[in-house]
A and B are shown apart, each in its own frame.
Chain A
Amino acid sequence: MTERLGLERVSAGYGESVILDGAELALQAGESLALLGRNGAGKSTLLRTVMGLTRLHGGTVRYDGRDLARDPPWKRSRAGIAWVPQERGMFPSLTVDEHLTTVARAGPCTVDRAYDLFPSLAMRRSSPGNRLSGGEQQMLAIARALVMNPAVLLLDEPMEGLAPVIVQELKGLLATLIGQGGMTVVLVEQHARLALSITARAAVLERGRIVHQAPSAQLIADPSTLQRLVAVA
């Protein structure tokens, strides 16, 4: 297997601040990773750094063996890295349909296929992005990533603030996507058990560094370690 995404001694933040401080991570093609850690550990910053939306102070972000340092975010996206931002990143002045058609790229997941996956979005094609319910917004954010037909899917707390029944629905969908094995998936999630239950591997961030890596099944079977690493103090 070849490395799809690699972070080597990555330090990054916003302006002068350093939030990621020597993060190391390597992901194979088709692998799934739960990225865990307490609030402020740098999980969102890590995803944003892969997208090129932070200031890189040092280290290398590699994608398919290539250093991304000089690539602006839109190029990384078009190269195959899709990002589902925290708080969903809806565009209030775009309709549901426009959210998908403006970013869709050739591949098996067409806009019609995305509507098949999320029938509730299909019924609201011409609604503005910010008029949707929280669950629908999250579905749209995920659908928007899927129609890019990416090689890497970065999900930043996709279950945050959703009703339990919607969480179960999305969990099932993500498990299916991961199970198909085509995409490399990084799932940032506050609910550690939920994330571990659908991913193969886990990494724990603490103060901007990866401090623990293990197969997800192993971590879920070891509640005391999990408690020590991610539970709110």
Chain B
Amino acid sequence: MIANFIGVLFDGIAYGSLLFLISIGLSVTLGLMNFVNLAHGAFAMLGGYVCVMLMTRWGVPFLATLPIAFIATATVGAVLERTLYRRLYKASHLDQVLFSIGLTFMAIAAATYAWGPSQQPVRLPDLLRGQVEVFGLQLGTYRLFLVAVVVAITFALAWLMEKTRFGAQVRSAVDDADVANGVGINVNLIFSLMFALGTGLAGLGGALGIDVLGLDPTFPLKYMVYFLLVVAVGGAGTIRGPLVAALVLGIFDVAGKYYVPQVGAFIIYTLMVLLLIAFPAGLYGRRA
């Protein structure tokens, strides 16, 4: 019973880690550029397809596809930021929503055309399959790997944001973009780099998540609500907020579907309503 509970808890943490990895970029674009990017899931999907293509067409090993998925989606993100997104930073949120939902549907159509409507398979390396015993508990190796990767990335992100000169420049741009610009910080370049980083992490999350979330052309729509929930509940523009929110949502979603499957799908929405009533600006929100 207890072991079972811990197993569910662990699956929830792994699921939440993945949600965090994908959603952190959405938190960045919302907190930094004040941009509502509903197409964020499309970047995660792109990372997934890059991973699958590299493995099935060119026989690249799974682990080697991960950095490539990151770089490929970050590059596409940077190009789209320079050419399209930038024009809408000052636009209304409705315009941004219409633009990015349009982009989402285009991404879905393009993915269906290129790879067909079916689920994509991923063959994990033997090393990451099966179970390992940790303190007498049987835990999925791949889920353990997922959590480890996300923990490492979270520490790297925290270091980047808190300890480096680049991170201080990003924080100054979030605090007051005009003043940051006026004291010599190239805010536009910071926006581009952060957008690329956020989409790159989404792409990495998409690739890592094929085994857990699946991968087909409807991916950006199917998980849009989850990504938005993480940012809405956690608060935009921070690392800690979305991390806590993603873990809470992941655990409750998995536990709900396991213990009360009849109402499992409703649990996270109930949770969202309750959390947003208690913390209207998000758990660690900077902006109301």
- Once A72-B188, A102-B169 are accepted as A-B contacts, the answer to whether A144 and B183 lie under 8 Å apart by CB is yes
A85 to B181, CA, bound (A): 12
A101 to B167, CA, bound (A): 12
The answer to whether B95 has its CB under 8 Å from any CB of chain A is no
Contact with A along B162-183 (1 / 0, CB 8 A): 0001001101101110111111
Whether B175 and A92, one on each chain, are in contact in the complex, defined by CB atoms closer than 8 angstroms, is yes
Q: Which residues of B contact A144 (CB under 8 A)?
A: 183
Per the 8 Å Cβ criterion, residues 44-101 of B in contact with A are none
The answer to whether A51 has its CB under 8 Å from any CB of chain B is yes
Chain A residue with Cβ nearest B190: A74
Q: Which residues of A contact B179 (CB under 8 A)?
A: 85, 89, 91
Contact with B along A101-145 (1 / 0, CB 8 A): 111010000000000000000000000000000000000000011
Interface extent on B, as a size class? 10 to 19
Chain B residue with Cβ nearest A103: B183
State the Cβ distance, B57 to closest chain A Cβ, in Å: 43
Q: Which residues of A contact B185 (CB under 8 A)?
A: 74, 102-103
Per the 8 Å Cβ criterion, residues 172-215 of A in contact with B are none
Whether B182 and A73, one on each chain, are in contact in the complex, defined by CB atoms closer than 8 angstroms, is yes
A77 to B169, CA, bound (A): 15
Chain A residue with Cβ nearest B237: A93
Name the residue among B184, B186, B188 with the largest chain A CB count within 10 angstroms: B184
The answer to whether B254 has its CB under 8 Å from any CB of chain A is no
Name the residue among A78, A94, A101 with the largest chain B CB count within 10 angstroms: A94
The answer to whether A167 has its CB under 8 Å from any CB of chain B is no
State the Cβ distance, A83 to closest chain B Cβ, in Å: 5
Contact of A72 among B168, B176, B181 (CB under 8 A): B181
Whether A102 and B165, one on each chain, are in contact in the complex, defined by CB atoms closer than 8 angstroms, is yes
A103 to B165, CA, bound (A): 9
Per the 8 Å Cβ criterion, residues 83-99 of A in contact with B are 83, 85, 89, 91-94, 98
Whether A93 and B175, one on each chain, are in contact in the complex, defined by CB atoms closer than 8 angstroms, is yes
Counted as pairs of residues, one from A and one from B, with CB atoms less than 8 Å apart, the total is 63
Q: Which residues of A contact B183 (CB under 8 A)?
A: 77, 82-83, 89, 103, 144-145, 148
A51 to B168, CA, bound (A): 22
Chain A residue with Cβ nearest B165: A102
State the Cβ distance, A76 to closest chain B Cβ, in Å: 8
Whether B168 and A89, one on each chain, are in contact in the complex, defined by CB atoms closer than 8 angstroms, is no
Instruction: Pick 28 A–B contacts, CB within 8 A, sort by A.
Output: A48-B182, A51-B182, A72-B186, A74-B181, A74-B182, A74-B184, A74-B185, A77-B183, A83-B182, A83-B183, A91-B171, A91-B175, A91-B179, A92-B175, A93-B171, A93-B174, A94-B171, A94-B172, A94-B175, A98-B168, A98-B171, A102-B168, A102-B169, A103-B184, A105-B184, A144-B183, A148-B183, A148-B184
* Residues of B bordering A, CB below 8 Å: 165, 168-169, 171-172, 174-176, 178-188
* Residues of A bordering B, CB below 8 Å: 48, 51, 53, 72-74, 77-78, 82-83, 85, 89, 91-94, 98, 101-103, 105, 144-145, 148
Sorted nearest first, the 4 A-B pairs with minimum C-beta distance are A77-B184, A89-B179, A73-B181, A91-B175
